[in-house]
Amino acid sequence: MALGAEDDFETVRGFARQAARLLALRNPDLATTEQRKDKRARHLYVDVMRNAYAQTAVAPYVVRARPGAPVAVPLHWDEVADSDLEPGRFTLRTVRRRLDELDQAADPWADLTRRRYSLTEARSRLDELARSRSTESAGGS
pLDDT digits (tens, 9 = 90+) for 80-137: 888 888 888 999 999 888 888 876 557 777 766 677 788 888 899 999 998 887 777 6
What's the pLDDT at 36? 93
Q: Averaged over 55-68, what is the pLDDT? A: 83
Beta bridge partners of 71: 63
Q: Are residues 65 and 52 in the same domain?
A: no
Q: Are residues 91 and 132 in the same domain?
A: no
Q: Are residues 131 and 96 in the same domain?
A: no
How far is residue 92's CA from residue 105's CA, in Å, rounded to a whole number? 23
What does DSSP say about strands 2-3 and 116-117: parallel, antiparallel, or unpaired? parallel
Q: Are residues 7 and 24 in the same domain?
A: yes
- pTM (2 d.p.): 0.60
What's the number of domains the chain is made of? 2
Q: Which helix (H) or strand (E) holds 24?
A: helix 9-26
Nearest Cα neighbor of 30 from 46, 43, 21 is 43
- DSSP annotation of 30 reads T
Q: Are residues 87 and 99 in the same domain?
A: yes
